[in-house]
Amino acid sequence: MYRALIVEDEDIMRDYLAENLHSFCPAWMAAATAADGMEAVERMAHERFDAVITDIRMPALDGLALSRYIRSQDADMPILILSGYDAFDYARSAMRLNVFDYLLKPLNEQELSAALYAMAAQVDARREHMGSDLLLRALSGDADASEALSAMLNAQPSALLLIAQAVTEAQSVDSLYQASAGHGVLSTRLSDAIVVCLTASDALILPTVALRAIERLALKHSAPVRCGCVVLSPSRAKEAYAEASDLLMYAQALDIPFLMEPLQHEQRTAIQKLNTMQTLLHQALAEHTLTDERCAILSKALLEFSPHQARSVAAALLAETSGTVDGTHFDFPALPDASPEAVANWFASALQRLRKELSPPEAVPGQLVRRARDFLRANFAQSISLSSLADQLQVTPAYLSAQFHREMNCSYSQYLLRLRMEEAARKLLEDADVKVHDVSRAVGFVSPKHFSHVFREYYQMTPKDYRDRSANRIS
């Protein structure tokens, strides 16, 4: 809900606006009142407001002087002037100060309501622009941004929500505001999620406010929502973001719409089981020890989850291996919507495929092949032929080719292609806005069309499909 400061020297009008502002536009609350401009300046020195609604003729410091002061501090804060004087000079002076609107007394309630709604839309856009950058910098650990975020939140109890991007990629700040029932939204979009900051009047109701916002989002989209939520202290924004990221990952893997500390006993137990499985699988992949025994242990552990969680846990664990492992790309068959036993059997089959197809660790190459490999890694984006590389290493192409194939277990051209394709895949996922033709040039292809053809042959999908599919897996 947006905070307005009402500045009016007439007691009756001041009380009328303070009591009825919310009914004119639910987005606004009368956060404070002042009897003149001097009192308003004092208020603004200690409190944060989203807009000022002020009379134009007041003792001590009038509305125009107050507006000039506000503009010296903030070029964009909306100022709504109310005046009993239909005088051109007043209106012209107000417009020069870039006030939002100029309404005449006696007030027309429909005009006032329309002005407040329009002003709320401007604050939405202002907050999205300012808040997005501020939130990003605070989450990265910027001390100045954390301090500014704290001032913006005005010491209100706050929560940081990290919501899976698959559900919210089309979500606007307006609809997030509606979903939060007016609890002061700041938001910013990341590559795989959206970050939302909500506030509440009392810390005790903060979890309820956050949960209700997620429930409303789910209803609005008619789709499942996955969210990790933590209480936000602006001075610990970076730590809060890391904690929310972990909770979102668990929410997705365990098919739980909303996770927030303190966790329920069942949730904490499920997370411990998931962590155990992740550790075992990661260790087996890293050490090339995904044996039959370990596959059986992992499949059996899957049955310890509730029936509706077994499927999402299996999908989450395999998603971590469905990219490139030791240069080999894996595409698993569709995950069945079946009993936990059927899902466990499918999971066991997928693990067996991993076990069989993972290549053994590369033998330590000799000095010649090591020099060739290092050169290719550093220069794969250049036009490099086997002959030119052999000339540089002062050996014949045939000898270099034979040694390379024997020690690297692949041909020179296969290794070069792998380097280029892995770098292309990384760039596609690293920046959602990067163009395919820019990626093609960056990895050594002159023709974007040829690059797309080679990429499709290598990954069995187009660059665009690869990016979209990977984004869906992450979210």
Tens of pLDDT, residues 279-295: 888 877 776 677 777 78
Question: 60, 38 in Cβ contact below 8 A?
Answer: yes
Tabulate helix, strand, coil % of the chain (nearest 5): 60, 10, 30
The total of other beta-carbon atoms located within 10 Å of residue 452's CB is 18
Q: Quick check: helix, strand or coil at residue 170?
A: coil
Question: What pLDDT does 326 receive?
Answer: 38
Cα(336)–Cα(320) distance, integer angstroms = 18
Checking if the pLDDT of 358 tops 70, the result is no
pTM for the model stands at: 0.52
227/7 Cα distance (integer angstroms): 41
pLDDT single digits (tens) 76-89: 889 999 888 766 67
pLDDT band at residue 38, thresholds of 50, 70 and 90?
A: very high
Tokens of 75: 């070029």
pLDDT at 419 over 80: yes
Give the per-residue pLDDT at 55.
92
Q: At 412, list the tokens.
A: 């020179």
Higher pLDDT, residue 263 or 460? 263
Contact (Cβ atoms closer than 8 angstroms) between residue 81 and residue 103? yes
The DSSP H or E segment spanning 405 is helix 397-408
pLDDT band per the 50, 70, 90 thresholds, residue 37: very high
What's the pLDDT at 474?
A: 42
Tell me what the mean pLDDT of segment 52-61 comes to: 90
What is the residue-wise DSSP string for 231-278? EE-GGGHHHHHHHHHHHHHHHHHTT-SEEESSPPHHHHHHHHHHHHHH
Report residue 324's pLDDT band, with 50, 70 and 90 as the boundaries. Answer: very low
Burial class (CB in 10 A: 0-12, 13-18, 19+), 155: exposed
Residue 178 has pLDDT above 70, yes or no: no
Would you state the pLDDT for residue 129? 60
Q: Which amino acid is at 262?
A: P
pLDDT at 172: 45
Instruction: Tell me which of 231 and 216 has the higher pLDDT.
Output: 231
Q: What is the pLDDT of residue 215?
A: 83
Mean pLDDT of the residues in the chain: 81
Checking if the pLDDT of 363 tops 70, the result is: no
Q: Does residue 65 register a pLDDT over 80?
A: yes
Looking at the DSSP bridge assignments, the partners of residue 260 are 229
Residue 294: which residues within 8 A CB-CB, separation 6 or more? 280, 284
- Percent of the chain past pLDDT 70, that is, above it, reads 84
What would the mean pLDDT of 308-335 be, rounded to a whole number?
Answer: 64
Tell me 122's DSSP state.
Answer: H
Arithmetic mean of pLDDT, 69-76: 88
pLDDT band at residue 53 using 50, 70 and 90 as cut-offs:
very high
Q: What is the pLDDT of residue 290?
A: 76
Closest Cα partner for 238 from 130, 135, 132, 128?
135
Which of the four pLDDT bands, split at 50, 70 and 90, describes residue 173?
very low
* Three-state SS at 15: helix
CA angle 197, 264, 309 (to 5 degrees): 90
Instruction: Give the pLDDT of residue 335.
Output: 61
Rounded to whole angstroms, what are the CA distances from 204 to 236, 366, 419? 20, 65, 53
**Please, are residues 244 and 160 in contact by the beta-carbon 8 Å criterion?**
yes
